[in-house]
């Protein structure tokens, strides 16, 4: 097992990464305060993993809330389903909510845990690759609003993250590769060891080799932890973790979360950010091609391939949380690092959207 510490001043916590962790009867229990434990998971994950994790907290009063599967259920209705359950069953602040699932369950449950009695004990057990390398770490929690993704949420840190790579065995292929959208982001942010691993161990990654996955998840969580430790509430550097995301969130919103998985939208968003960076002479075309090939090798889309209104796309982008004024704030790639820049020239961004949607 690999162990990482996220060294936050007020709330440091451990990230456990390994194989067989869900069968460990002492690990999860050691993070469960209070007498009551509420598992929040979804209809797909519950039949595969819920009994196993319930066994590992035997002796506690065990409860469950099962949400339907899908991004559209990262909603106010699901949020109140969890809150109502906690209220009706008299949960206290020191009782534990365990998020068992991908990023949708993690974000939704995290926001419920943050809100119930102003914050109850939370443990994240991410089961998708995307949630293991990104969403379960760092405390961003949210639900979607019909006007945009993650518009309602809170920064709320868990007391631990337990990542069992064995859960990836049951993850459908398309979901598995979607996780690489966020991993490639770390490579572009300057983590050379991730880029090396992606390029040299692609066969092992296709086989879902546990040892290679543990290393990749460890490197990804390490990079994210370092950034979050310096800037927990996204006052500066953490915004770089949103590389490609302003484009991606607009794409997901406009297509009503039906056509692209989050990691796929991020892959396209990264290509759009690379394209804009090239137009602004921050990188050369070789870099764009290199990452396009890497994304394609990992079965990720690099183009939108459908007609969308450029104006509507831009309108959603202007609602992005990173914007501080009317100008768009975007993460761009500059040689071997990323930078956050205000883009006053909306026409340049419109040209990129046009290029990708045509």
Residues that bind ligand NAD (CB under 6 A): 42, 44-45, 48, 69, 71, 74, 101-105, 107, 127-128, 130-131, 134-135, 138, 140, 150, 167, 170-171, 175, 178, 182, 261-263
Shorter beta-carbon distance to ligand GLY: residue 210 or 322 = 322
Which partner in ligand NAD, ligand GLY, none is near 71 (CB below 5 to 8 A by kind)?
ligand NAD
Distance CA 150, CA 249 (A): 9
Q: Would you count residue 134 as binding ligand GLY (CB under 6 A)?
A: yes
Identify which of 25, 31, 27 has the alpha carbon closest to the alpha carbon of residue 1.
27
Query: x/- string (CB under 6 A) for ligand GLY, residues 154-183?
Result: ------------------------------
Distance CA 348, CA 5 (A): 41
Find all residues with CB under 8 Å of 348, minimum gap 6, and list them. 276, 279, 280
Please identify, among the stretches 22-30, 42-50, 207-215, 238-246, the one whose residues bind ligand GLY according to the rule CB under 6 A: 238-246
Identify which of 283, 243, 248, 241 has the alpha carbon closest to the alpha carbon of residue 264.
248
Q: How far is the CB of 331 from ligand NAD (least distance, A)?
A: 14
Shorter beta-carbon distance to ligand NAD: residue 147 or 286 = 147
Please identify, among the stretches 33-41, 97-105, 109-117, 134-142, the one whose residues bind ligand GLY according to the rule CB under 6 A: 134-142
Applying CB under 6 A, the site for ligand GLY has a residue count of: 6
Q: How far is the CB of 108 from ligand GLY (least distance, A)?
A: 15
3-state helix, strand, coil in the chain (%, to 5): 50, 20, 30
Classify each residue of 291-319 as buried b or exposed e, where b means 16 or more C-beta atoms within 10 Å of its C-beta: bbebbeebebbbebeeebebeebeebbeb
In this structure, are residues 260 and 268 in contact, taking their beta carbons and an 8 Å threshold?
A: yes
Which partner in ligand NAD, ligand GLY, none is near 94 (CB below 5 to 8 A by kind)?
none
Shorter beta-carbon distance to ligand NAD: residue 247 or 283 = 247
Q: Would you count residue 241 as binding ligand GLY (CB under 6 A)?
A: yes
In this structure, are residues 42 and 68 in contact, taking their beta carbons and an 8 Å threshold?
A: yes
């Amino acid at each position: 097992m690999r162990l990482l510490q996220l060294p936050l001043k007020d709330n440091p916590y451990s990230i456990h990464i390994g194989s067989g962790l869900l069968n460990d009867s002492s690990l999860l229990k050691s993070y469960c305060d209070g007498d009551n434990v509420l598992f929040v998971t979804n209809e797909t994950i519950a039949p595969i993993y819920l009994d196993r994790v319930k066994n590992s907290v035997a002796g506690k009063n065990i409860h469950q809330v099962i949400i339907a599967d899908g991004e559209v259920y990262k909603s106010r209705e699901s949020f109140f389903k969890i809150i109502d359950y906690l209220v009706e069953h008299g949960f206290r602040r020191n009782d534990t909510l365990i998020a068992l699932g991908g990023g949708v369950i993690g974000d939704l449950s995290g926001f419920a845990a943050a809100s119930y009695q102003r914050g109850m004990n939370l443990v994240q057990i991410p089961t998708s690759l995307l949630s293991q390398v990104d969403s379960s770490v760092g405390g961003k929690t949210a639900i979607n609003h019909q006007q945009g993704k993650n518009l309602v949420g809170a920064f709320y840190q868990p007391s631990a993250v337990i990542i069992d790579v064995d859960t990836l065995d049951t993850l459908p292929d398309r979901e598995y590769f979607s996780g690489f959208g966020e991993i490639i982001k770390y490579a572009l942010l300057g983590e050379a060891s991730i880029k090396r691993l992606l390029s040299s161990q692609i066969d092992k990654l296709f086989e879902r080799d546990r040892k290679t996955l543990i290393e990749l998840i460890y490197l990804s969580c390490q990079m994210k932890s370092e950034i979050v430790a310096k800037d927990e509430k996204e006052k500066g550097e953490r915004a770089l973790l949103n590389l490609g995301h302003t484009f991606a969130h607009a794409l997901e919103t406009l297509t009503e979360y039906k056509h692209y998985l989050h990691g796929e939208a991020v892959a396209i968003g990264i290509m759009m950010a690379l394209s804009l960076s090239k137009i602004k002479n921050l990188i050369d075309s070789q870099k764009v091609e290199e990452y396009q090939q890497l994304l394609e090798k990992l079965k990720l889309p690099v183009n939108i391939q459908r007609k969308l209104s450029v104006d509507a796309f831009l309108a959603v982008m202007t609602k992005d949380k990173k914007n501080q004024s009317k100008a768009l704030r975007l993460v761009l790639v500059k040689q071997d690092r990323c930078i956050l820049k205000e883009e006053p020239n909306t026409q340049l961004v419109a040209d990129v959207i046009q290029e990708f949607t045509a």
